Amino acid sequence: MIGQIVAGIDGSLNSLTAFQYALDLARRVKAEVKVVFVVDSRKTDLPIIYAASHFDYGFERVYIPPEPGLKGFYDRVRHDIRAFAENCLALCRKDAEAARVPMTALVREGLPSGVLTEEARSGDLLVLGQKGENAHIERAIVGSTTEDVVRSTPRPVLVCPASFRSPQRVLFPYDGSSVAEIALQFCVNAFGSIWDEMVVLTVTEEMEDSFPFDTELGYLGTHGIPYRLVMETGKPVDTIPRVAKREKADLILIGAHGRHKIRDYLLGSTASHLIRKSDLPVLVAF
């Protein structure tokens, strides 16, 4: 079972919903939650300004000190963001007390993806919002904090949409890879039989393609996990969301990469597409 769930928040709707998912899962498996608010240092660090002259044949940079008033401005920005962080953590603490879930809170300053990756090491699962405070900006390329964390964190990550509903039915797309098996083992060992049902989905380009299921289904049966097998043909990136809607799934479990190892190159992968586009929480394990 899980002992600690780490939730990263920035005060955005998505991140506070992610905290609700963390709180719900922690209550059900009797774990504690650590909430981390990262003050983005790109907003609070005094910019360093350099200048170079065309006479500078050695390509040496000359440091130009910023205006004295800038330091005071960035100090105020830091103070205001930290005050906002404390307010957000106070709301989280109130919800945690109501749910009777032990909670610790932490405010750190730095690059969000790096700080969250570091803090994730203390827990068993990291929970993040699908998008953060810049959710109004449409992303078309890899590079968001969430995707950076998924690529680098040593722990499984639950990526959450903007709306919350307590997960009861899990959709597990299985492709026969070792990473898919690891994802299944993590889910079963971490959460036990808290799910009402696990829908095991295999998606193949051709119907004659198939994967052996005896071991995986036997594993679920041994641990008392109710399951159902669904077989579909088509492209995974299109089929998984369609089946999730049809089967009324509340959560998608997926390995970070499939039979072709692309964890370090998420652009174009099924995992990346689900992380960006799914209206369900996506649990990514590797």
Say what the pLDDT of residue 3 is: 96
Query: Per-residue pLDDT for 100 more than 90?
Result: yes
CA distance 253 to 158: 9
- In angstroms, rounded to a whole number, what is the distance separating the alpha carbons of residues 142 and 127? 19
Q: Starting at the edge strand that comes first in sequence, how are the strands of the sheet with 125-129 ordered?
A: 103-110, 32-40, 4-9, 125-129, 157-160, 282-285, 251-255, 169-173, 197-204, 227-233
* pLDDT tens per residue across span 142-180: 347 888 898 888 899 999 999 999 999 999 999 888 888
Residues 271/257, Cβ–Cβ less than 8 Å: yes
User: Residue 262: what pLDDT?
Assistant: 41
**139 pLDDT more than 90:** no
Full set of structural domains in the chain with CATH = 4-43+79-157 (3.40.50.12370), 44-77 (no CATH), 167-285 (3.40.50.620)
Taking the CA atoms of 173, 175, 177 and 178 in sequence, report the sign of the dihedral they define. Answer: positive
Residue 217: its pLDDT value, please? 80
Least confident of 117-126, 134-143, 245-254: 134-143
Residue 62: per-residue pLDDT: 59
What is the reported pLDDT for 176? 81
Q: Average per-residue pLDDT in the chain? A: 85
CA–CA distance from 60 to each of 55, 57, 128 (Å)? 10, 8, 42
Task: Check residue 44 and give left, alpha or beta (phi > 0: left; psi -120 to 50: alpha).
Answer: alpha
- Stretch 214-236: mean pLDDT: 87
Q: Which residue has the tokens 């097998």?
A: 229
Q: Residue for token digits 């994967």?
A: 211
Q: Is pLDDT at 258 greater than 60 in this prediction?
A: no
pLDDT given at position 63? 60
In 3D space, the residue among 263, 243, 159 whose CA is nearest the CA of residue 203 turns out to be: 243
pTM: 0.86
Structure tokens at 165: 């509903």
134, pLDDT greater than 60? no
Q: Where are the beta strands (DSSP E) in 169-222?
A: 169-173, 197-204
Residue type at 103 in one-letter notation:
M
Closest CA to 172 of 219, 221, 226, 240: 240
Between residues 62 and 84, which one has the greater pLDDT? Answer: 84
Alpha-carbon distance of 81 to 26, in angstroms, equals 28
- In the structure, what pLDDT confidence band is assigned to residue 124 with cuts at 50, 70 and 90? very high
Angle, to 10 degrees, between the axis of helix 112-120 and the axis of helix 145-152?
40
Find, among 197, 251, 208, 259, the residue nearest to 231 by Cα: 208
Confidence of residue 265 (pLDDT cuts 50, 70, 90): very low
Give the residue-averaged pLDDT of 48-58.
Answer: 55
Residues 205/274, Cβ–Cβ less than 8 Å? no
Split at pLDDT 50, 70, 90, the class of 6 is very high
